[in-house]
């Protein structure tokens, strides 16, 4: 039986090994992206000096909106519990676009742009630098990553079966890495011990990662957790009907779509027009300016933020958008979990609350999959473990190639001697 699994392990590793190395290495590079960027660009993500009282959120949003072209609008503002972190003003486009602003001085720090290195690592990890075809053709990069990850699952399982220790002494020896018995022994021990140490982590990372590659796999994965996926949806959006609520919540958390905002702007424009007409007839410019502020779509964002801040003193971040708000927390588990609120944009009154704890599995599974895949579910400790596991995972194919080549060279030498 082990002979069969040895062949499976070998002949799946040879064609897919290098791709697995690229996937694991690029994944490891992304684990601490936020921390690295905040360290390298501290002046961008943090304010220069913390004052006693920040400027109102609506005023800051209006300040950013004044710098934008007509085709782009402000869709929300994200406020961290850390008073030293700059506010993040979300934009309607491009996707996930935002501007950072000093909440104490009103200084616009600039537009967020992902570092080219991390952009490249992300594209490598997901698509091997390929891109989706405009004509709907085969997305080869995504497919190759998906197939390679699926094969990696079988490589991991077959590897464990091959190297199952016969007794406790053999297990103890398998977990040691010798550094003073030559390079071949070092690479051999690193391959065996590295695989044993990281097996669970790498298997979980592979199984969760496959949900982004294949719709049929995602459907089955969801069903395993009691979530019924709808049929006929694209591979990027396959999920349950009730999971649509979570997807809407995620969009609100990042930045709301600009459709609703445009509706507010239209209402605002009509009101503005009426105010201008009345002000012109009366010749009262100050009344016009007061009317503008009253009907600004951002006018009540500060009020909503203050309400939610009082209700959720342990919040991590509060995002206020057009008629909706999200509150996220720094807790173990699903790092995309958030409580969602709706409010009346005319008076700031909270009209509806959807708490994360009240959602069923369909409203939680996508966030859990993401949190487990990136290792953030257990805080910094599990992120470090995921980082180490991914790095070791990147070395497994390389050490495997080395051992296989050395073995083939030795076999050829024996044949020549005969």
List pLDDT tens digits, range 272-329: 444 444 444 444 444 444 444 445 789 999 999 999 999 999 999 999 999 999 999 9
What is the residue-averaged pLDDT of the chain?
87
Q: Residue 105: its pLDDT value, please?
A: 97
Q: pLDDT tens for residues 53-102? A: 999 999 999 999 999 999 999 999 999 999 999 999 999 998 889 999 99
Instruction: Return d(Cα 162, Cα 13) in angstroms, integer.
Output: 14
pTM here? 0.83
Largest distance between two CA atoms of the chain = 110
Whole-angstrom distance, CA of residue 154 vs CA of residue 165: 19
The token pair at 391 is 């790095």
Which segment of 135-144, 178-187, 222-231 scores lowest on mean pLDDT? Answer: 222-231
Residue 230: per-residue pLDDT: 53
**Cα–Cα–Cα angle for 367, 373, 378, rounded to 5 degrees:** 80
Q: Distance (Å, rounded) from C-alpha 295 to C-alpha 275?
A: 10
Selection from 16-20, 362-366, 414-418 with the highest mean pLDDT: 16-20
Q: Which residues pair with 340 in a beta bridge?
A: 326, 354
Q: Which DSSP string do the residues of 83-130 spell out, in sequence order?
A: TTBPEEEEESSSTT-EEEE-TTT--EEEE----HHHHHHHHHHHHTT-
DSSP state of 340: E
Average confidence (pLDDT) over 181-191 = 94
The H or E element spanning position 34 is: helix 33-40
pLDDT of residue 165: 77
pLDDT per residue over 113-132, tens digit each?
999 999 999 999 999 999 98
Distance of CA 74 to the CA centre of its chain: 22
More confident residue, 164 or 409: 409
Give me the pLDDT at residue 277, please.
45
CA distance 5 to 414: 25
R_g of the chain computed on alpha carbons: 27
Distance of CA 327 to the CA centre of its chain: 17
The size of the chain, in residues, is: 418
Looking at residues 358-370, what average pLDDT do you find? 93
């Amino acid at each position: 039986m082990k002979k069969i699994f040895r062949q499976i392990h070998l002949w799946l590793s040879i064609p897919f090994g290098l791709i697995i190395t690229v996937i694991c290495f690029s994944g490891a590079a992304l684990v601490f992206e936020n921390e690295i960027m905040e360290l390298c660009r501290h002046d961008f993500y943090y304010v220069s000096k913390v004052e006693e009282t920040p400027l109102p959120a609506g005023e800051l949003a209006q300040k950013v909106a004044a710098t934008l072209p007509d085709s782009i609008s402000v869709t929300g503002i994200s406020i961290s519990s850390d008073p030293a972190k700059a506010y993040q003003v979300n934009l309607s486009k491009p996707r996930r676009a935002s501007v950072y602003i000093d909440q104490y001085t009103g200084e616009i720090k600039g537009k967020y742009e992902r570092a080219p290195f991390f952009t490249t690592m992300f594209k490598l990890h997901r698509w091997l630098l390929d891109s989706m075809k405009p004509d709907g053709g085969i997305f080869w990069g995504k497919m190759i990553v998906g197939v390679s990850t699926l094969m990696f699952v079988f490589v991991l399982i077959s590897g464990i079966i091959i190297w199952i220790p016969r007794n406790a002494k053999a297990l103890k020896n398998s977990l040691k890495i010798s550094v003073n018995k030559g390079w071949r022994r070092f690479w051999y021990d690193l391959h065996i011990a590295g695989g044993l140490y990281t097996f669970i982590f790498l298997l979980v990372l592979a199984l969760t990662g496959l949900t982004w590659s294949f719709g049929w796999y995602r459907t089955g994965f969801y069903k395993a957790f009691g979530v019924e996926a709808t049929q006929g949806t694209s591979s990027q959006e396959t999920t349950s009907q009730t999971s649509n609520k979570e997807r809407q919540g995620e969009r609100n958390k990042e930045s709301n779509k600009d459709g609703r905002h445009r509706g507010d702007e239209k209402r605002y424009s009509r009101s503005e027009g009426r105010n201008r007409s009345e002000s012109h007839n009366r010749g009262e410019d100050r009344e016009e300016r007061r009317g503008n502020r009253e009907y600004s779509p951002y006018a009540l964002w500060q009020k909503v933020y203050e309400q939610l801040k009082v209700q959720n003193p342990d919040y991590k971040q509060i995002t206020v958008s057009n008629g909706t708000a999200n509150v996220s927390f720094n807790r173990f588990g699903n790092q995309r979990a958030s409580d969602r609120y709706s409010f009346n944009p005319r008076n700031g009154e909270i009209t509806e609350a959807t708490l994360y704890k009240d959602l069923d599995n369909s409203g939680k599974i996508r966030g859990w999959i993401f949190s487990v895949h990136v290792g953030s579910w257990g805080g910094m400790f599990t992120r470090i473990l995921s980082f180490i596991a991914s790095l070791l995972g990147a070395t497994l194919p390389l050490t495997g190639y080395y051992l296989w080549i050395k073995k083939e060279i030795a076999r050829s030498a024996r044949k020549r001697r005969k």
